[in-house]
């Protein structure tokens, strides 16, 4: 028995995908050309699956800030903040995030994934109970597992189900932490923040909101779903990432809790990993500024999202949520999804292929994510590609393999 034999079934399924076309889970881009285009197989391809919501990855001011910081302070920090020290710029960024989010404190983590690990496993312990939305991102699943807390999942976006489960749980003095996302990464739907906040208040629980996909996207100031719903005071802890609207890498946890800093000595995902590099910190600091100075980016993002949503609905596609910068198109089965994904790519459009078990309810999805940097012409080109493909749908009947679908 080989130690990696346990993955044989997965490998077989993956090889099947490669027989049909390109590698969907790690597509090779020869060169990224801009926030919305890359060279793939020598062809200029529109990127419509990058979470680059505000299109800041090529913002000249962000790039300049990153370059300058790298030249001044080196390529990396080479260690964690508790062992190797904190750069002043880490603290400056934390203060900038806290100020923007109207919180008293923020902690920067090296990725958004680690922000969830650090915050969840830092906040909750074996004597606490976490109530998490069933469609939560894997970083939330991993964070709650690491916490050792009792975990109760409630039905996706169902505040009444959360209410029932909270009412049923024994109140033996355990702290209760509710965990939700602002916009869900797979289906692009929003959390019902008002209702969730009401339930949280009723049961005297804490609420943590992961605004990874809603920062810069929702709310008058772009602070996310809690801002949009007017319930920021109910969100005791906010988690977010630098890898989407802010166009870099890293993450944060923010709160008004006066004891938040204790996590710096208790959250393993903060303590035992290297801190963000100077160029990352400087880029994110500038991106945060750019985001606040440029509300038109959020408007353009939504205009693009609505334009593509309307176009796809008109064509007859099934979209999993109302218009949103994440448009998840549900297709009949895996073979269809793989075929359409490859066809789009051949014609110069890259979206995300999302298959079970990584999707809710076994859905086979093509996930588009829009950017403020997309031009109207690019949105129309994406739509035209979907229109051309629609003529070939529905594809072979259920049970067809991916290879059959292509033929
Ligand atoms: N939370 C959510 C909801 C996410 O979708 C993601 C990543 N897609 C993360 C956290 C992790 O963020 P990062 O990729 O920046 O580590």
The answer to the question of residue 9 being in a domain is: no
Q: Do 223 and 316 sit in the same domain of this protein? A: no
The closest residue, in CA terms, to atom 14 on ligand 1 is 112
164: phi then psi, degrees, rounded to nearest 5: -60, -45
Q: Which atom of ligand 1 is closest in space to residue 114's alpha carbon?
A: 16
Strand partners, 107: 253
CA–centroid distance, 7 to ligand 1, in Å, is 25
What tokens does 178 get? 């509710």
Evaluate if pTM is beyond 0.75.
yes
The answer to the question of residue 319 being in a domain is: yes
CA–centroid distance, 399 to ligand 1, in Å, is 33
d(CA 170, CA 68): 55
Biggest CA–CA distance in the chain, Å, is 62
d(CA 89, CA 95): 10
pLDDT digits (tens, 9 = 90+) for 283-309: 999 999 999 999 999 999 999 999 999
Is 92 within 8 Å of 285 (Cβ atoms)? yes
- Substitution candidate for ligand 1 out of 52, 109, 113, 142 with most atoms within 8 A of CB: 113
Q: Residue 271 CB: number of other CB atoms within 10 A?
A: 16
CA–centroid distance, 390 to ligand 1, in Å, is 31
Residue-number span of the structural domain to which 31 is assigned: 14-54+294-405
Domain count along the chain: 2
**pLDDT number for residue 95:** 98
The answer to the question of residue 185 being in a domain is: yes
The answer to the question of residue 6 being in a domain is: no
Distances (CA, A) of 406 to 89, 129, 336, 345, 388: 52, 48, 9, 14, 15
The answer to the question of residue 2 being in a domain is: no
For residue 86, how many C-alpha atoms fall within 13 Å in the half-sphere facing its CB? 14
Last residue of a domain, one of 293, 327, 358: 293
Q: Do 304 and 215 sit in the same domain of this protein? A: no
d(CA 108, CA 90): 7
Q: Do 298 and 365 sit in the same domain of this protein? A: yes
Q: Do 388 and 311 sit in the same domain of this protein? A: yes
pLDDT digits (tens, 9 = 90+) for 91-146: 999 999 999 999 999 999 999 999 999 999 999 999 999 999 999 999 999 999 99
């Amino acid at each position: 028995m080989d130690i990696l034999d346990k993955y044989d079934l997965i490998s077989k399924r993956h090889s099947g995908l490669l027989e049909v076309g390109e590698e969907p889970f790690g597509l090779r881009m020869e060169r990224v050309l801009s926030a919305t285009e890359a060279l793939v197989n020598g062809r200029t391809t529109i990127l419509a699956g990058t979470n680059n919501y505000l299109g800041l990855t090529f913002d000249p001011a962000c790039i300049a800030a990153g370059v300058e910081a790298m030249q001044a302070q080196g390529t990396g920090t080479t260690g964690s903040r508790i062992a190797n020290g904190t750069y002043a710029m880490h603290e400056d960024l934390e203060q900038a995030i806290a100020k923007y989010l109207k919180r008293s404190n923020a902690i920067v983590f090296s990725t958004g994934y680690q922000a969830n690990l650090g915050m969840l496993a830092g906040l909750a312990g074996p004597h606490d109970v976490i109530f998490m939305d069933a469609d939560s991102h894997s970083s939330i699943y991993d964070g709650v597992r690491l916490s050792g807390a009792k975990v109760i999942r409630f039905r996706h976006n169902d505040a009444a189900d959360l209410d029932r489960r909270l009412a049923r749980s024994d109140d033996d003095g355990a702290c209760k932490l509710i965990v939700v996302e602002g916009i869900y990464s797979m289906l692009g739907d929003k959390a019902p923040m008002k209702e969730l906040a009401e339930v949280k208040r009723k049961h005297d629980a804490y609420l943590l909101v992961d605004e990874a996909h809603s920062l810069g996207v929702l709310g008058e100031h772009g602070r996310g779903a809690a801002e949009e719903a007017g319930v920021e005071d109910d969100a005791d802890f906010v988690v977010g990432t630098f890898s989407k609207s802010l166009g870099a890498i890293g993450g944060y946890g923010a709160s008004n809790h006066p004891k938040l800093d204790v996590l710096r000595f208790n959250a393993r995902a903060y303590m035992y990993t290297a801190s963000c590099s100077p160029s990352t910190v400087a880029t994110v600091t500038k991106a945060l500024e750019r985001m606040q100075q440029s509300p038109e980016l959020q408007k353009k993002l939504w205009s693009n999202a609505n334009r593509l949503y309307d176009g796809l609905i008109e064509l007859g596609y099934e979209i999993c949520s109302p218009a949103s910068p994440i448009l998840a198109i549900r297709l009949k089965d895996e073979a269809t999804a793989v075929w359409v994904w490859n066809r789009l790519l051949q014609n110069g459009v890259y979206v995300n292929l999302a298959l079970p078990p990584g999707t809710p309810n076994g859905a086979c999805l093509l996930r588009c994510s829009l950017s403020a940097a997309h031009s109207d012409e690019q949105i129309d080109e994406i739509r035209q590609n979907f229109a051309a493909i629609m003529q070939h749908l529905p594809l072979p009947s259920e049970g067809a393999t991916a290879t059959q679908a292509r033929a």
